[in-house]
Amino acid sequence: MKKKDFLKIAKKKLNSRLIVGTGKYKNMTECAKAIKISGAEMVTVAVRRVNIVDKNKPLLMDYIDPKKIIYLPNTAGCFNSNEALRTLRLAREIGDWKLVKLEVLGDKKNLLPDMIETLKSTEVLSKEGFEVMVYCNDDPLMAKRLENAGAIAIMPLAAPIGSGLGIQNKLNIQIIRKQTKLPLIIDAGIGTASDASIAMEMGCDGVLINTAIAKAKKPYQMAEAMKYAVIAGRKSYLSGRIKKNIYGNASSPKKGLI
């Protein structure tokens, strides 16, 4: 029997290698439907922005069942280590969430990660028993330091958050892939289905997408496109591509020509 190709994160096994964000949608109904169409089994939840506490307002849990979809609390909107630590400690108190996504940004314009604060936070959270998936830049050296600090998944950006530019530095992503056995998930900057396929064809274990789906003219159609793009990219990677050659190579037999 063919071995099932799971995405393994901590102790969890996911059939889908697409992780979807829950922000930026017109409303929670649209968010829930897009996630269902995408086939994602894990969603990120910005603890500081998405309502998971106030019962007088629409609760995310009423639209996306945490018993069926894995919630991944994240620290979106945090700009220093203290904010990030406080946010994730709150998430643990609210829902007993230990599997979390750490995101510490450096500035409000470029939204690039502050790697000094990120590394500091990773060390503290790992010692406190959190399972930390870490959003980071595409620097192989820093990615290795995060791994050594206890990260359970490395999540380098393809491009700045929400930019839709696709993977800007393939070389660094390839280096990170070769140096780590941790799950490698492209996070931020994916714009279209081909970007997701490229990430998967490079050997990444998954992609995290929010803006590209939520802000598409047709979010449901884009959610479906991303679903199949990730599947196609993964299958292509596992199939083993042909070697590149600067010369042509006829596909028909050379012997027995008339």
Give me the DSSP letters along 82-142: HHHHHHHHHHHHHH---EEEE--BS-TTT--B-HHHHHHHHHHHHHTT-EEEEEE-S-HHH
Q: Is 9 helix (H, G, I), strand (E, B) or coil?
A: strand
Calpha distance 37→33 (Å, rounded) = 6
Q: What are 70's two structure tokens?
A: 């894995």
Mean pLDDT is lowest, of 1-5, 132-136, 163-167, for 1-5
pLDDT in the model for residue 256: 61
pLDDT in the model for residue 38: 95
pTM over 0.85: yes
Given a cut of 60, whether residue 1 has pLDDT beyond it is no
Query: With bands split at pLDDT 50, 70 and 90, how would you rate the model's confidence at 255?
Result: low
* Residue 98 Cα distances to 44, 84, 90, 147, 185, angstroms: 13, 14, 11, 17, 19
In the chain, the domains with their CATH numbers are 7-239 (3.20.20.70)
Calpha distance 116→195 (Å, rounded) = 28
H helix or E strand, kind and range, residue 225: helix 219-239
Whether residue 255 lies in the annotated active site:
no
198-240: pLDDT as tens digits: 999 999 999 999 999 999 999 999 999 999 999 999 999 999 9
137-177: pLDDT as tens digits: 999 999 999 999 999 999 999 999 999 999 999 999 999 99
7-9 and 12-14: which strand pairing? antiparallel
Q: Write down the residue that tokens 């939204």 correspond to.
A: 111
20-52: pLDDT as tens digits: 999 889 888 999 999 999 999 999 998 766 666
44-87: pLDDT as tens digits: 998 766 666 666 676 778 888 888 999 999 998 899 999 999 99
pLDDT in the model for residue 32: 92
**Residue tagged active-site, from 67, 98, 101, 109:** 101
pLDDT in the model for residue 193: 96
